[in-house]
A and B are shown apart, each in its own frame.
Chain A
Amino acid sequence: DQQVKQNSPSLSVQEGRISILNCDYTNSMFDYFLWYKKYPAEGPTFLISISSIKDKNEDGRFTVFLNKSAKHLSLHIVPSQPGDSAVYFCATNTGGFKTIFGAGTRLFVKA
């Protein structure tokens, strides 16, 4: 049973518009969340993270929102650019050594 779920396998967005990628988790004990971005034939790269003591973290065009009561987090990309086309993985870590990843969402940004 997946503990981190990304229910949308893919998302298509027009350049300049907002991309919203969603992630749900099952365990309320998870206290740290990360987003990774992956291009084809490359390894994932760390993008942005958020601690459970916050509900928002922003880094340039990327903002992650955390709703603990709903066990839901989302990644907003504004404005979206063609170079953002990649697979995005949501992940969680409880401070130990086992980071759990979602299945990923493939984002297509159309020019």
Chain B
Amino acid sequence: NAGVTQTPKFQVLKTGQSMTLQCAQDMNHNSMYWYRQDPGMGLRLIYYSASEGTTDKGEVPNGYNVSRLNKREFSLRLESAAPSQTSVYFCASSDVTVSGYTFGSGTRLTVV
């Protein structure tokens, strides 16, 4: 009953460092998403993968790259972290978009 698993839960990076946020789901969902949550701004879509083998940009893709490794896994990479990327990152998955997403518990990232 794991659902959506994100690693790590917390990370502190220095400006210019790179890192990859990992996400895996065990519900056999076709679609996966990466969102960031910032105070007063709700959740904003970074990238999504409608199905295995496809990825598309969301509302705020600059500074990020993604990989849909297989049906289960969808990773988010920051090549050169900036303080503006300090945020809480959520991965989500869904089978049918109108049935709601299942979210992971989030990764709190601080870039100093």
Chain A residues within 8 Å of B, Cβ to Cβ: 4, 6, 9, 32, 34, 36, 41-46, 49, 51, 89, 93, 95-104
Q: How far in angstroms is the closest Cβ of chain A from B23?
A: 11
CA distance A9 to B45 in the complex (A): 21
The verdict on A43 contacting B42 (CB below 8 Å), with A49-B100, A95-B97, A97-B48 known, is no
A44 and B97: CB pair below 8 A?
no
- Label chain A's interface by main secondary structure: loop
B43 and A97: CB pair below 8 A?
no
Additional 5 contacts, C-beta under 8 A, given A43-B90, A49-B98: A44-B43, A46-B102, A98-B59, A99-B33, A100-B45
Q: Identify 16 residue pairs between A and B in the complex whose beta-carbon atoms are under 8 Å apart, listed by A's number.
A: A6-B42, A9-B40, A34-B100, A41-B106, A43-B4, A43-B106, A45-B103, A46-B100, A46-B102, A49-B98, A51-B98, A93-B98, A97-B48, A98-B59, A99-B97, A101-B35
Select from chain A the residue with minimum beta-carbon distance to B38. A103
CA distance A77 to B64 in the complex (A): 38
State which of A36, A89, A99, A102 has its C-beta within 8 Å of the C-beta of B45: A99
B45 and A46: CB pair below 8 A?
no
CA distance A42 to B56 in the complex (A): 26
A93 and B97: CB pair below 8 A?
yes
Q: How far in angstroms is the closest Cβ of chain B from A9?
A: 8
